[in-house]
Structure 1
Amino acid sequence: MTNFASPIWVLGQVQSRLQFQWPLPTWWFGLIAVVLAITIVTIVKSSHATILQKSTLLTCRLLAMVVLVVMLPGWSLLQEKTGKPKLIVLVDTSLSMEYPDKHSLKPLMPLAKWVFDPHEIDPILMLDEAQGDVIVDLVRMELSHAFLNGALSMSGPAIKDPQQRFPLMGALKGVEDEYDIHLYGVNDVVKPLTYRENGSVDVNADLTVVPRSAIGTGILEVLRRHRGQSMAGIVLLTDGRVNRGASLKQAGEVARQASVPLIIPQVFGRSDAKDFELVQPNAPISVFVDEPAVFEIDVLRHGNLESELQIPFQVSDGELDYVIHAEFQPGKRETQLSMKYVSSEPGPKTLQVEHLSENGDSWGHPAYSYFAKRSHEFQFEVKDDAVNVLLIEESPRFEYRALEDLFQRATNKAGRKKFAVSSVLGSVAPQLAQENPNVYSVIPKDKDWLFGFDVIVIGDVSPQLLNLELQEMLVEYVVQRGGGLAMLAGEQYLPLSYEGEPLEQLLPAGVERFQVVEQSARPASFVLSKLGRRSKVMSLEESVDENIDIWSQLNGPYWYLKTPALKTGVRVLTFAESEEADQVPMITQQFAGAGRVVFHGFDSSWRWQRQGSSGDAFSHYWTQMMRFLAGASVGDGKAGIEISVQSRQVEFGEDNRIYVRYLDPQQAPPEDNVVVQLTKNRLQSQIVRLSRDGIQQGVFTGTIGGLQLGKYVIEFVNPLQGSTKPKSVNFYVSTGDPEAEYLEADEDGLRQLATSTGGKFYDLEDWGRVLEELPDGRQVVVQKISERRLWNNHWLIGLFLSLMSLEWWLRRRWYN
């Protein structure tokens, strides 16, 4: 006995279908057909009946046979409760899914509510500001989140009950009405995904982001788990990067044989293995007419580091226009662009550094980049004003005379003085002080007068000349006003006479720690520290090696001070080295509040006159030092805070370096107390304290080691000091797998996978069509509700007998 069924209609989760069971062997169909054929032939060949009569008799016989055929199989009408077909959602959670791609903003506007609303970004405003299209960086995993969860946040606590389910709110909103949804994440293993309390699918909470990607094997595992079940299809959210296990082609063949189509929405964009960004600008916010200033910015490249590379950049200020190249050797991730700039005209200036696209060059994009920086503008002021300097000395020693002479005679190319110098000389005759308005025998107790100077130079001054009240004013001048202070040690008073005095807080060490060293035979020599070698204020030559040689050849001191320990935050620029003593700090620099202090532990820089390649290392050094102390601070003329890292892709076992930069250096905190939070995989957090980077007032750095595999997020904690909280920065730690080295999505492979399985690949702008074009799937019978036996009806028997009787009566009448 054979069972046959055919669905008639499906309403919700109730299915109605016809079923019959044929009780006789199949050859009986042939016997009935033969009998029916004989009957037709007999009726047709009858010579006594008309055509109408023959047709009527034939119709009755055929209808009777049809009724008989309907009754014999036992037709039934079944009503059954059905289950929904299963729809599998498989999310790639490997490391490459945490990589940002480039996307044109205009095609994404229909998806703005899902893609941009969670980040509180206004795409319309971005387009208006750019006056054209905008290229944005979107992380692949965040696009997967947007496809599933819409505008729901990616953060928030996980639900306590792992069995609890919420409806999807993204492109598949409402899919639960027709399908039984199963959510999985896959990297090198397949695990079910859970939900957050806000109702969003947690795309990577239970999975460690790893550089191992076995998407093909994941598809096979899902097919195995649901073997024998009704599967409408698999929605695959991936970039197609596979570096282990079964290939996408192998998985697609198995899915095709199982009649399971793969639906693949696009969650990636244009990714260039030669991607780069400009980070860590380092430049003055004020320069002086006819004096060279150096503007620096780091170039950080991503992707494959094995090749040698040159990236062209155009430098321009409206009049100046030239091209420089960032050069990368194999294995090198970071390099620096250094631009020397000289202006002959005062006023506000802008120096722009922009990537130069060449013919056939795949770098960058003609549209404005909103996230990754491919250009930078240095905004600064070119000044023609003389630096207002105050010299304070007890007596006119050699150091004082050389400095006063330099500041009075130094002029620029146009003949204008570089410095406006005033002097306080404790030993000067009062009559001489009255005759010269720029010379004083005592320090006026006038804060406005003192605060009017750009730089104050204190020599070997006695506490009687620099009393407590004046010392407090001087501390306030540095800490509050942001003034620059240079201190020149002396054999009589500074710093040994200031123990416990207010001025002591500006010294690099406690007064009791200073010790006098006197060279009897030969003077000590100067040795630049690591910081001094890369500091422009200590640069007497353009070449680093030549600069080191020049400093080692300068006339060293016979008398100097040494200290075994420095205060926190004090940086050494130059050491003194001799046969009698080890290296001791000679020139130190520190930030005190908004100002800066440079301490010289010797008093014989005047001996540098007529030395150096320029013939006057003394003049070169002190001119640069005065510019530095006068407030030519490192920055780019803007406000706010920026966070960056040395590398966004870190190989396992390597360290990474964090940078926090205050764009306005005077907003930087006085102490080394900048704090950031380092979070791994959105789960494990730790606090990292950063310290000031050398003589850069607004830059704080810190090295982090012991990094495990995964994604790290750096968020700024404090101190904001009225600034807007900066945007967080991500970086990734991998094992050097191919997935971390080659991050371009395999779009061609994914399109072929979808086509080969009878599914479809959807571009980003077509997300809205995914739900309406999902395969129907096969309904699964869960429970039989009712069965109505259509064959067991009196009217069918009556119809059969009536047809046979009518035929018999007509035959009797027409043939007799």
Structure 2
Amino acid sequence: MQLFFERAGNPFLIFFLIVGFIVLAYLSYRGVYQTVSRKVGLMLLTFRILAFLLLFFALFQPVVKFTETKNLKPYLVLLLDSSKSMGIKEGKDSPSRLVKAEEALRKGAIIKKLQAKGIVKLFEFSSGITARNLQDIDNLKEAQGNHTDIAKSLKAAVNELRGQPLSALILLSDGQNNGGEDPVKTAGNLQVPIYTVGVGEKKGEGGKDIEVSHISFSKRVMVNNLTEIEATIKSRNYENKLLPVDLTLGEQILASSVITLSEAQPTQKVKLSFVPRKVGRFVYTVTVPLDREEVIAENNRKSFSLRVTNPRIKVLYFEGAPRWEYKFLKRKLESDPNIELVSFLRTGRERILRQGTTLETASLKIPQSPEEFSEYDVIIFGNIKRDFFTSAQLAAIKTMVEEGGAFIMLGGKNSFGAGNYRGTPIEEILPVSLGAGGWISSKFKMELTAEGRAYPIFRSSSKGWENLPALSGGNIVDSAKPGATVLATYPYRKNRNGKLIVMAVQNYGQGKTVAITTDSTWRWTFSGRGGDEYSRFWSQLFRWLYPEKKEKEKEGKLVQVITDRDNYFSEDTIYITARVRDEDGRLIPDVQVSCLIDTPDGKEVQLKMNPNSSSATDSLLGEDYSLTFVPKKRGTYKITVKASRKEQLLGEDTLSLLVGDPSLEFRNTWLNERLLRRLATESRGRYYDLETVDKLPDDIVVQGKVVTQVREKKLWDSPWLFISFLVLLTLEWSIRKTQQLI
């Protein structure tokens, strides 16, 4: 115990103050001594001096410090992997890896030896940790974890024992980490030795197995178009065995192929083709039959999510050379489920690269006649010269626009007048007169006209279009044609007709045309908002361009459901959006929209969708109802949306999506000894297998912890100090009262 003062002053000054007060108290009672007895006078003086000393004592804030020392026992943590791969049985009659790990702990009395060294805590782990009693270790028979996150589990275990003397982490696992941070880096940062125990067979050992390892596919395909996927099949310990490979949708087999398994070729690729007949999001599965000699059944199938679309807008894009504007615009158009893109990229004088969103693109020829061009809704000319086309082709494009199509010309050093389009049918349909041409190389921020600010193409920007990153480069055109609308100009460059034009539009016949003289709208993807403004610009432009009469012809369901992504992991947030419109494409008011979600474990989740003016998705469609859902399990989820008005069903739509990979734990089933050894080395621990694990307790060096606890007691704010002060003053006052001194 130690007494100190929080407000200690100069000790000499304090001493003289105390002596001075005692003298002052004595002098104040000197006259009293003549009227009372010596004993009473001494009592009065004593009580007053004590009260003063008590007050003086409190003013300097006295504190009593108590020091206590404790010896804390060391802690040892057992981390037992309970992910699904630990349920693998290496032989037909062999116990699972999890059971083998438990038997190894019991066989060598390892737990008892560890308990003799410190306090042992048991956790089972997969994507996280769960605390268990040591007595329950014999009951941990089920390996149910959907994936393994070793780094997260290590950090969680250390956090559970924060403040305690943790001497070692003992990790029993097959080392098949398939999620989260780098476990080796985590092990080095924890500053706790990790002793790893490998469970499972090494690569090249074990029985027979066939695995659907990987599937390559396009995430979005067109309805009624040939679609091809490629599956990778791995096998071990099979020779000259014929293996059928099926592609299924539910119970329906869509495509089949046969391969011959061989030890000389353990990895094979097989292509499967089919024609999707329905629009929507579906989960397809590649399966191979289970052989009775296989040790792992769960990896004989693999599912994937595929979006089948029926695009409302067919776009034909000609580009004269690879450039940034082409790269970003092509990516934007390909990502929109309502657009079917065909592009022809000129890569040399006689070389043309065909690209697009369907398999048939490679076999397509450049249209020649008005009938062939009319198969498309929008035609885009990029940086491409007039001599790429025949006069008949240019005339056919003019006819296509007159009959209701749309045409866009983008800026470039081979566009507009610089591309020799003066006097051609293309100049006739453009909203600008080309003039002599020319090129501006400097950077600039476009300036919207009054008409541009009011136009639907430039609406709904939270940043303001003029505040976006500067554009760079553009064609000089002479003027806008009568009937055309100028939407944007250069802020300072002029000719005799006014400010130079950046963007103009016009109606031509039954169609629409657009002139964009710059070649750098792609710079808007760097607006700091993930390219939202760039995407919004092109979405709104196409929404304005697309001929209304064709939209009505191609419009399908009254109710459509979409999600913000095609694939998810468990615990991700799924944004579900429903679009409800009538046959004319107009929003239907006062609609009740419900959502039914069928989960992989057979449960149904009923949710109500709320009106929402904005959406997590960016498409040419208008979406107006939304909700969010967080999946807890891996597997296939079926989402059904129904819309009704005044108790009358308007329509419904269904899609399926895949959350994670249900067979992820069975993709790599070998013991990952290398990872486990690295974990041990990085943390200054040691690696063991099931044959040597009995040495583990002797190798662990434990160290307890001496904790010194300091407890302080403030005396100056104690109520007893105040009470004592009052008691002393009261006693003095009582004596003076009885002696008739007051």
TM-score when scaled to structure 1? Answer: 0.27
**Structure with greater Cα Rg:** 1
TM-score (norm. length: structure 2): 0.30
